[in-house]
Amino acid sequence: MTVKIEVDVSEVEAFAEALKQMPEQLRERFAGVLGEIGQQIVVRARAYAPVRTGALRASIYQTVTRDLVLRVGAYVYYAIFQEFGTRYIAPRYFLTRAIQENLPLLAFAMQEAISQTWESL
């Protein structure tokens, strides 16, 4: 079992419909922005992750889907226990903190991508 946290804005019907009608140039910019923000989230999550062997830190990943969904997670089975804690382990929130820190930057970067695309049309 691995831990994975997704920020999926495509569930909002209006936004999902707008994504389908979005010009390809804007979709490519959004994907690029999501990839950059995702990489920043990975860097911060790796800094926050507890380290004994380094396997947890090395397993943190990010991907951007064709539907413009940014997925951030960790592959090792015990990541969920480190993230949310157990009866014996306090929660570390290494992914949650990294995502929360980057949400304002994500909104700003998306706004910039829209502005740049609009100016280039």
Determine if the pTM surpasses 0.75: yes
* Residue 91 maps to a domain: yes
| Total domain count, the chain | 1
As a whole number, mean pLDDT of residues 9-14 equals 59
3-state helix, strand, coil in the chain (%, to 5): 60, 10, 25
Domain residues for the domain of 82 are 3-114
* Residue 7 maps to a domain: yes
* Residue 119 maps to a domain: no
* Residue 41 maps to a domain: yes
Q: What is the pLDDT of residues 80-91, one digit of tens each?
A: 999 999 999 999
As a whole number of angstroms, the distance between CA 98 and CA 15 comes to 24
Q: What is the pLDDT of residues 66-84, one digit of tens each?
A: 888 899 999 999 999 999 9
* Residue 121 maps to a domain: no
For CA atoms 72, 78, 80, 84, the dihedral sign is negative
* Residue 51 maps to a domain: yes
Indicate the average pLDDT of the chain: 86
* Residue 88 maps to a domain: yes
* Residue 120 maps to a domain: no
